[in-house]
Amino acid sequence: MKKTLILAAAMTVLFLAPNQRLFSQTKDDAGNAYNNARTLAATDKSGALKGMIEVVSMCEKVGAEADDIKKMASAVIPDWQYQIANDLLKEKKYDEAIAAFDQTILYADKYGDSEKKEKSLNQMPKLYFFKGQDLLKAEKLDEALASFDKAIGYDADYTKAYYSKGVAFKKKNDYENMQKAMDKAFELGTKSNDTATAAKARDAMGSTFLSRANKAFSTKGYAQAIELANSSLSYTPNNSPAFLILAVSYNSTSKFDLAIDAAKKGLAVETKPEKQADFYFETGKAYEGKKDNANACANYKKVTVGPKKAAADYQIVTVLKCK
């Protein structure tokens, strides 16, 4: 009976030893795994990264004697993850790239790579901006705005993100928020010497107010047209069409002195003769309203071209009987 028990114990040791050796890890095992991961990196960066993370785990099980391999592996992980994220950015796979850069930041914190963390954080506002631009083109306006806000969350001075927010709000006919975003884009663009974006923001507001002024004017909403035209001029001061809306609207509401003033300012910036004729006509009309026939005739006579010429001639010959 004793011999049987001894034999059984011996057989147990014999069969357990190879399995125990199978699950035990040595520094050599970690070194081989490290080398394999380095080789794999040339063709499969993601697979190599998983392998290198496993190397760190193996080294921790081995203990202090594998610290040198653990240090080398730990240094590689944030760098490889950054490369993977950057490749996704180049492929314009923005959602995947965002997730990959987020993972880079986590690895950078875990393995002490402040450079890769900073570089990843610098990429995030651009990623959300690019994503927002794609969403804007697809008319997914609320999603685009959320993405631009994410970009601004990473970079509070992101001029182009504010400009694109303004574009999105314009598409939503949300003119109040459009103005806030465009004003911020103009402010930041001027401050950072991004003159191109600042100019685009300014011109966008000028043209938007002008378009709205025209719409109000077309329905004889003269008070609103005057307000919107003046707002347009606050952004684009040399805006000849805005001055014409003012001149016509003031004449239509019997504010003749204001009409004359608007027409003079329009003439100061308008260079095309046929457009200048419109201002001379409105000036003549304003003086006529003021019962100043001499000045009315003088201005009507300057309308020598354009669609208002026939009307000016009628005033000269039939109504005022100008000399």
pLDDT at residue 210, rounded to an integer: 98
pTM of the predicted structure, to 2 decimals: 0.84
Query: In CATH, what is the architecture of 238-323?
Result: Alpha Horseshoe (1.25)
pLDDT beyond 90 at 302: yes
| Torsion sign across C-alpha atoms 109, 110, 112, 117 | negative
Q: Rounded mean pLDDT of the chain?
A: 93
pLDDT beyond 70 at 174: yes
Using CA atoms, how far apart are residues 115 and 107, in angstroms rounded to an integer? 12
The greatest distance separating any two alpha carbons of the chain, rounded to the nearest whole angstrom, comes to 145
Amino acid letter for position 212 = R
pLDDT tens, residue by residue, 201-242 = 999 999 999 999 999 999 999 999 999 999 999 999 999 999
Using CA atoms, how far apart are residues 303 and 315, in angstroms rounded to an integer? 11
Q: Which residues, in sequence order, are CB contacts of 148 under 8 Å at separation 6+? A: 128, 129, 132, 161, 162, 164, 165, 168
Residues 91 and 84 sit within 8 Å (Cβ to Cβ): no
Using CA atoms, how far apart are residues 38 and 119, in angstroms rounded to an integer? 23
pLDDT at residue 25, rounded to an integer: 80
pLDDT tens, residue by residue, 263-280 = 999 999 999 999 999 999
Q: Which residues, in sequence order, are CB contacts of 288 under 8 Å at separation 6+? A: 296, 315, 319, 320
pLDDT tens, residue by residue, 1-36 = 444 433 333 333 333 334 333 346 899 999 999 999
Going from the C-alpha of 127 to that of each of 83, 122, 130, 314, the distances in angstroms are: 15, 9, 5, 63
Provide mean pLDDT across the span 60-79.
Answer: 95
pLDDT at residue 42, rounded to an integer: 94
Using CA atoms, how far apart are residues 295 and 115, in angstroms rounded to an integer? 74
pLDDT beyond 60 at 246: yes
**Domain boundaries of the chain, sorted by first residue:** 24-124, 238-323
